[in-house]
Amino acid sequence: MSASDNNNALEQNFAPLKNDRLLRALRFEPIDTTPVWMMRQAGRYLPEYKATRAEAGDFMSLCKDTARATEVTLQPLRRYDLDAAILFSDILTIPDAMGLGLYFETGEGPKFKHPIRTQADLDRLPVLDVNDSLDYVMRAVTSIRKALNGQVPLFGFSGSPWTLATYMIEGGSSKDYRYTKGFLYSNPEFLHQLLDKLATSVIDYLDAQVVAGAQILQIFDSWGGALGHRQFVDFSHAYNKRIVAELKVRHPEIPVVLFTKGGGLWLDVQADSEADALGLDWTMPIDRARQVLTESQRQLTKHHKKLQSSKAIQGNLDPATLYGSPATIRAEVNAMLDSAYANGEKTGYVANLGHGITQWVDPDNAKVFIDAVHDYKI
């Protein structure tokens, strides 16, 4: 049973939204200025985040502590004039709940004690009840939504099936995806079984986040760009498309953003989905992305014999730009926005970084970025 079908789900009494700029941009409605937020905006570049994490003890303890997860989500909104908040959590919550034994080694990132390498490993994976094993995420979503008091919309999120599968098979992050790509080419059915299980879990997980209070969703396909172009369609996009389609059945009013790092070459592929927006990394010019999506909309309308909705765009400043001087940051932001609005369309765009903000950024430089976006005259 999906969370949205659960009769026990409490009807939340949330404050009305005061700043809907980002939602309006995704609907291609007029906006007064460009909406902006940052992937990983609650994170290690902020001294107040480091202090709160130290109190919690470790990263997953912080994720599971409702009060502290709420606090770190709100911290960047106290510093910056952001147009959205994003749930403080991790993309690996689903495999952790499946019993893979998530742990973190200093300087090495997340790892799993029990990677998925055999059919027996795969068969042992449970069907998740997300409101049981991941209830701490839903408590955090509701707490954050209430604490925001309508200030800005709240993003919920998940990793994509492909990205989650790479971590689960490799046992951590990877540069060459030796085992995952090994299965892709030697035993694709094994990989599809895992991706199918993960897609079902991601659908239920994001559904539950909406019921808990999320107003917009993002799917992070962080390692989609590691695939070959044919393999991207079959092993990543097909599952993302299925997830979005089911979410739109359950929650047609909730916008969904698909972000594939390294996926600029496949915008025409990703356009064939019900996603409201596509995220870009810094390798794809936004004006070219707009052109590709306009043409894709025309072709898909012809193919489906039904008008296909336009796709908004999110992105795509290189996070390393924030190591530069304030003048450099402002110049790069202006160039990015010139590109975003080059075709004359003055909406349908959300400014962001092309991936997460890094821990070495000066918090003052992040403010320069946010303010430069809002100062730009559309």
pLDDT digits (tens, 9 = 90+) for 153-174: 999 999 999 999 999 999 999 9
Give φ, ψ of 196 to 5 degrees. Answer: -65, -45
271 located within any domain? yes
pLDDT bracket for residue 3 (50, 70, 90): low
Q: Residue 252 corresponds to which tokens in the numbers above?
A: 């047609």
The number of C-alpha atoms within 13 Å of 45 and in the hemisphere containing its C-beta is 23
Is 2 within a domain? no
| Amino acid, res. 235 | F
Instruction: Render 131-188 in DSSP notation, one character per residue.
Output: HHHTHHHHHHHHHHHHHHTTSS-EEEEEE-HHHHHHHHHHTB--SS-HHHHHHHHH-H
Radius of gyration of the chain (CA): 20
Distance, in Å, from the CA atom of 39 to the CA atom of 352, rounded to the nearest integer, reads 7
For residues 152 and 155, give the distance between their C-alpha atoms in angstroms, rounded to a whole number: 10
Residue 370 domain-assigned (yes or no): yes
* Of the candidates 56, 23, 18, 257, the residue with the CA atom closest to the CA atom of residue 140: 56
Domain for residue 346, yes or no? yes
Catalytic residue selected from 53, 68, 145, 330: 53
* Pair of tokens at residue 80: 């910056």
Model confidence at 6: pLDDT above 70: no
- pLDDT of residue 63 exceeding 80: yes
Annotated active-site residue in 24, 27, 40, 79 = 40
Beta-ladder partners of 277: 257, 312
Task: Quote the pLDDT of residue 235.
Answer: 98
CATH number, position 173: 3.20.20.210
Rounded percentage of the chain residues whose pLDDT exceeds 90: 91
Question: Of 24, 27, 44, 250, which residue is the catalytic one?
Answer: 44
Split at pLDDT 50, 70, 90, the class of 355 is very high
pLDDT in tens, 265-301: 999 999 999 999 999 999 999 999 999 999 999 999 9
pLDDT: which is higher, 107 or 317: 317
Tens of pLDDT along 188-232?
Answer: 999 999 999 999 999 999 999 999 999 999 999 999 999 999 999
Q: Give domain status of residue 7, yes or no.
A: no
pLDDT of residue 11: 55
Q: What are the DSSP calls for 312-359, one per residue?
A: EEEEEE-GGGGGS-HHHHHHHHHHHHHHHTTTS--SSEEEEESSPPPT
- Known catalytic residue at 167: yes
Q: Please indicate whether residue 90 is annotated as part of the active site.
A: yes
Of 45, 49, 80, 167, the catalytic one is 167
**257 SS3 class:** strand
Q: Annotated catalytic, 44?
A: yes
Contact at 8 Å (CB) between 241 and 170? no
Nearest Cα to Cα of residue 160 among 246, 94, 252? 94
Q: Is residue 4 part of a domain?
A: no
Residue 26 DSSP SS3: helix
Q: One of 81, 90, 318, 371 is an active-site residue; which one?
A: 90
Q: CA-based angle 345:351:356, to the nearest 5?
A: 150
Please state the rounded mean pLDDT for residues 115-136: 96
Q: What's the pLDDT score for residue 308? A: 81
Average pLDDT over residues 365-369: 98
Per-residue DSSP letter, 251:
-
Examine residue 8 and state whether it is found in any structural domain, yes or no: no
Average pLDDT, the chain: 95
pLDDT at 305: 84
Tally of domains in the chain: 1
* Contact assessment for residue 2 and residue 250, using Cβ atoms and an 8 Å cutoff: yes
Tell me, yes or no, if the pTM score tops 0.75.
Answer: yes
pLDDT bin (cut points 50, 70, 90) of residue 347 is: very high
Does the active-site annotation cover 53?
yes
Q: Give me the domain span that covers residue 310.
A: 14-375
Output the 3-class SS for 41-108: CCCCCCHHHHHHHHHHCCHHHHHHCHHHHHHHHHHHHHHCCCCCEECCCCCCHHHHHCCCCEEEECCC
The answer to whether position 352 is within a domain reads yes
pLDDT confidence bin for 5, thresholds 50/70/90: very low
